[in-house]
Every structure is written in C-alpha cells, then in structure tokens.
Amino acid sequence: MIWFTEHWTENVGLTVKANEVKRIKSKYQEILVLDTPEFGKMLVLDGLVQTTERDEFIYHEMLAHPAMVMHSNPERVLVIGGGDGGTVREILKHKSVKEVHLCEIDEEVIIVSEKYFPSISEKLRDPKVKIFIEDGNSFLEERKDYYDVIIMDSSDPVGASEVLFKKEFYEKVKSSLRKNGIMVAQTESPILQEKYFSRAFGEIRKVFRNVGVYLAYVPTYPSGMWSFTIASDFVDVKDTSVNREKVKELKTKYFCDSIYACLFALPQFVQEILKKS
C-alpha cells in the first residue's frame, strides 16, 4: 500500500492509504485509479480526486437532481465532462428524459470508468445516451437552442477545464438551451477555493438572469464543503416550491425533499462571498 495525497492547497491536503490499481497518461491528463480501504475505488485526474465509490452519490445526485426537478419537463440533457457516468446515471432516473448527450474530452476517462467503476458508469450504454468525444466549448457551437438542461461536471478550473469557467463559455451554454432551459455547474469549495468559487459565480451571473448557489458535503473534495451554481433566464431557479412531487419519486441517498426545500439556505460567509463577487 502507498499513501496518496491530494494537495488541496500548499498547506493542507487529503491523504489516503491505497493500492494503486492503474496509472496511465492520456492525451490530456494522468489518470489514476486507487483502491482505498475507506472510500473504495477512487478516480484521480492530474492529482485531483474526482470521485470515489463511497461518496460519489452525494456529488452526482446534488449536481443532477435540483436542475432536473426544477425544469418541468426535461427531455434533452447535456453533460459536459462527467466521463465517469455518475451524472448520466442520475439524469436517467427522470422519466421525462428522451436523450442524454455526454460530451467528454478524454475518451480514456470513459474507458477507465467502465472498467473499474461499473456502479458509476453503469448507464453509459443506455440507449438514450449518446457519447461525444469532443471539447465542450466547440461542441456547443453546433447545438443552438436544443437542450432543456446542461450540466457542467468538470474538474477544477485548470488545464482542459479552465475554459469551462469563463463567461464566453456560459454564453454558449445559454444559447444552446431551449426556452425554460436550466444550467448547473460544479463550482468548487467556498472555503478552500474561494477565488475559483466566486469567479465562477460572478461569470455565470453576468450571463443569466436568475442564479442560485447551493452546497453539499463531499468528504473527499477540498474541505468537504462543495458548491453548485444553477442558472436560467426564464425559470426562477430559487423557487423550490415547484415540482416537489418529482423529488418524492426519485430513488436517492442524499438528495431528498427536505434538502430541496431549503436548497438555497447558505452560511453567512458564503452569502458574503456572493455579494462581493
């Protein structure tokens, strides 16, 4: 066994005991699969923990369901990034969905996930799912006015993911959404990555009329406190009195009615960051 550390900042990190299962260099990044006693298998890209078998449900449920519930009839959904398939699996829990497009830049991530993370990637071959190995930024240019929900399931805003956190990119997202479309993005940790978080929120707010931030607790991500930013021009994304009955029909382990009801309850310091952004 080895000790693996993700350096969250220069001064703090997450260390786990692990067996190294696989390490490859793809065209875009180093892909590492670890097997850990507490968290099961862990997927690491360029040194950053992306998901683990033990806690992946928290992130994937919280990334997918709020937007899917808030939209009254999501039929066409796009995931940008998310090659492990966890977000796609959650989206398919919604009966209204007719097609899910997954746009992942690195095919190797999909291959590795299908081999080592079957419980996460299990729905990638569902007939409703179409996989595109492309860069999200150029993919959107060819699909205007098409999706009901667009979900950004990216890594941190460094390397290949950096463009996915810029205003120009959110503008493309907006023009690829149909009327009543909703987008949601993972937007990093408000406590350990305040700059990333506040920048992402600031950029999204420049582009969309209605924007909301909510949090979830993901133990293997920096600080554990994780943010998501949801936005729409036509849907009041902060009104969680809508579509409550849809939440009860979902089989989930973290997301539930009481979390949906107070989705936008934020700690004071996070509200302050948003005011300054």
Residue in the shown chain whose Cβ atom is closest to ligand AG3? 48
Q: How far is the CB of 91 from ligand AG3 (least distance, A)?
A: 12
Residue from 41, 176, 222, 246 in contact with ligand AG3 (CB under 6 A): 222
Q: Active site residue: 153, 236, 239, 257, which one?
A: 153
51 binds ligand AG3 (CB under 6 A): yes
Residue from 39, 221, 255, 260 in contact with ligand AG3 (CB under 6 A): 221
Is residue 126 among the annotated active site residues?
Answer: no
181 binds ligand AG3 (CB under 6 A): no
Based on CB atoms, which residue is closest to ligand AG3, 202 or 219? 219
> What b-and-e string marks burial along 132-146, b requiring 16 or more CB atoms within 10 Å of the CB?
eeebbbebbeebeeb
136 binds ligand AG3 (CB under 6 A): no
Which residues line the annotated binding site? 29, 60, 84, 104, 135-136, 153-156
x/- string (CB under 6 A) for ligand AG3, residues 59-88?
A: -----------------------x-x-xx-
Count the residues of the shown chain that bind ligand AG3, applying the rule CB under 6 A: 15
Binding to ligand AG3 (CB under 6 A): which residues in 139-158? 153, 155-156
Query: Where does this chain bind ligand AG3 (CB under 6 A)?
Result: 6, 48-51, 82, 84, 86-87, 153, 155-156, 186, 221-222
Catalytic residue numbers, as ranges: 153
